[in-house]
Amino acid sequence: TLGASAAGMLSIDGRCKTLDARANGYARSEGVGALVLRPCDADAASVHLVGSAVRQDGRSASLTAPNGSAQRTLLERALGPSASGEVGCIEMHGTGTALGDPTEAGALAAVHGGNARTMPLAVGAAKASVGHSEAASGQVGLARVRQVLEA
């Protein structure tokens, strides 16, 4: 916590304001989640994982300066550029920082915001509601996407 605070990553008011002009960092939180995989029932609503990708951010100016090019590459590898117009919702990392959010939003727009879009792209960021749960942040994002699909 001291290191993150010294690096200017933590919100001074304890609130993560993702995609907000008042963004000043993220709030730390704790969380736990579980994903249960089971065979699909033809009558039940199901979600299909079409693709995934993992990538390190690569070279950047500092720990708090994201690499937009690396983020675009990751998004393209996850589904391939031809599927970008079919994506209906994205749960972004959304740290609530003045540098990170615009960089991430720019990467999302470059990959998923082109002329191939036939429907709006819903973008969410759970950190604005629950903070950065760090180790469990992937589970929080997955739970949010599930909520969107069930709505």
Percent of the chain, pLDDT > 70?
Answer: 92
DSSP assignment of 64-108 equals TS--HHHHHHHHHHHH-GGGGGG--EEE------TTHHHHHHHHH
pLDDT at 43: 57
Q: What is the mean pLDDT of the chain?
A: 83
Looking at the DSSP assignment, which residues form a beta bridge with residue 10?
26
Segment holding 124, helix H or strand E: strand 122-124
pTM of the model: 0.80
Chain centre to alpha carbon of residue 135:
14
Radius of gyration, alpha carbons of the chain: 16
By three-state DSSP, how is residue 132 classified?
strand
